[in-house]
């Protein structure tokens, strides 16, 4: 989809006492601001998800963003928040700002990809250091860890928005997420953070299809939640633990695996690999390579989960009472 004429000046200093790690301001032409944010080729939207209906949801998303007037987007570089930020950028031009939270729980690989996507779109980006890892309630790593993380992020964004004149904050929750255990949703509610993708009824598969039709290379990027989500509940989250997980997962990617998790159980690393990729892991040579890579990352023991990768596997031990509260 055309972005129109975009001029990228040198990084600017934010007003007041706001410290900027990275910020790319921009000037957008009227043609860019008025261009359609509909996919360039709507017919490319996968027919199995009812293409016309998906495009109508996109129009509803556009209208909602335009109605807001200006917006800060909590941006992680994942497909949901990236699609929301890119759409807001095209609808609102320089009246939007993507905010990326940088902390030890964000893998450097994900950080680099998020910055690269924003740079490619010439989208204004602010990288904010967050300090949730210094909070005891986050470190203790119970079922509400995600709440404390998002609470820190949204409070910091509220403060930044007040200095920059943004009155609305949004995040990338989609329609499917409303059915899952996500304590961060409670933090969003408490801070009045909007969820435009969910409001428009867009599901994960629809967002991927729209991102593909838009030509975004991240449309099929595997989900990449924070590194803390790999640590078993009750085990203290520390920088050293997160570095272990990150090093382990990156070493498995170097072995050619794409969708995976290294679950941290103390001295034991439980490796989850997508079932479609699992057969490749089951040779003696590859098993030896996986074990060597994880031991080099600092684990004493390594096990391969025969069930394969599944999102939210750490939540399987939570009681029904906790799960049905959805983080409340």
Mean pLDDT, rounded, for 186-191 = 91
What was the pLDDT predicted at 30? 36
What was the pLDDT predicted at 183? 75
Orientation of helix 108-121 relative to helix 239-254, angle to 10°: 70
What was the pLDDT predicted at 313? 56
Tokens of 279: 């057969």
What pLDDT digit, counting tens, does each position of 235-281 carry?
A: 999 999 999 999 999 999 999 999 999 999 999 999 999 999 999 99
**Residue 115 above 80 pLDDT?**
yes
Q: Maximum distance among all alpha carbons in the chain?
A: 60
| DSSP secondary structure, 188-245, as one string | HHHTT-B-HHHHTT--HHHHHHHHHHTT-GGGGPPP---GGGGBPTTSPP-HHHHHHH
Average pLDDT, the chain: 83
Question: How confident is residue 199, by pLDDT bands cut at 50, 70 and 90?
Answer: very high
Tokens of 272: 């989850």
What was the pLDDT predicted at 180? 65
What was the pLDDT predicted at 27? 34
**Residue 177 above 90 pLDDT?**
no
What pLDDT digit, counting tens, does each position of 36-77 carry?
A: 334 434 445 555 555 679 999 999 999 999 999 999 999 999
């Amino acid at each position: 989809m055309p972005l129109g004429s975009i001029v990228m000046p040198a990084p600017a200093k934010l007003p007041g006492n706001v410290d900027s790690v990275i910020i790319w301001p921009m000037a957008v032409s009227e043609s860019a601001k008025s261009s359609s944010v509909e996919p360039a080729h709507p017919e490319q939207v996968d027919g199995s998800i009812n293409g016309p209906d998906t495009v109508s949801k996109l129009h509803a998303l556009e209208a909602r963003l335009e109605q807001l007037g200006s917006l800060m987007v909590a941006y992680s570089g994942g497909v949901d928040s990236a699609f929301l930020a890119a759409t807001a950028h095209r609808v609102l031009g320089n009246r939007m700002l993507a905010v990326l939270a940088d902390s030890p729980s964000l893998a450097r690989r994900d950080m680099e990809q998020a910055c690269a996507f924003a740079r490619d779109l010439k989208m204004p980006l602010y990288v904010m250091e967050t300090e949730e890892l210094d909070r005891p309630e986050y470190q203790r790593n119970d079922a509400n860890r995600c709440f404390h993380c998002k609470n820190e992020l949204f409070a910091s964004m509220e403060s930044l928005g007040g200095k920059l004149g943004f009155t609305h904050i949004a995040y990338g929750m989609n329609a499917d997420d409303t059915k899952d255990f996500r304590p961060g949703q409670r933090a969003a509610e408490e801070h009045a953070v909007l969820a435009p993708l969910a409001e428009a009824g867009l599901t994960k598969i629809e967002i991927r299809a729209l991102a593909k039709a838009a030509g975004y290379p991240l449309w099929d990027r595997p989900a990449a939640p924070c590194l803390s989500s790999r640590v078993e509940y009750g085990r203290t989250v520390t920088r050293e633990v997160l570095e272990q997980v990150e090093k382990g997962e990156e070493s498995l990617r170097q072995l050619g695996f794409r969708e995976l998790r290294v679950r941290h159980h103390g001295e034991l690393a439980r490796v989850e690999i997508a079932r479609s990729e699992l057969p490749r892991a089951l040779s003696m040579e590859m098993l030896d390579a996986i074990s060597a890579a994880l031991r080099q990352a600092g684990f004493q023991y390594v096990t391969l989960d025969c069930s394969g990768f599944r999102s939210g596997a750490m939540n399987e031990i939570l009681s029904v009472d906790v799960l049905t509260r959805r983080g409340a």
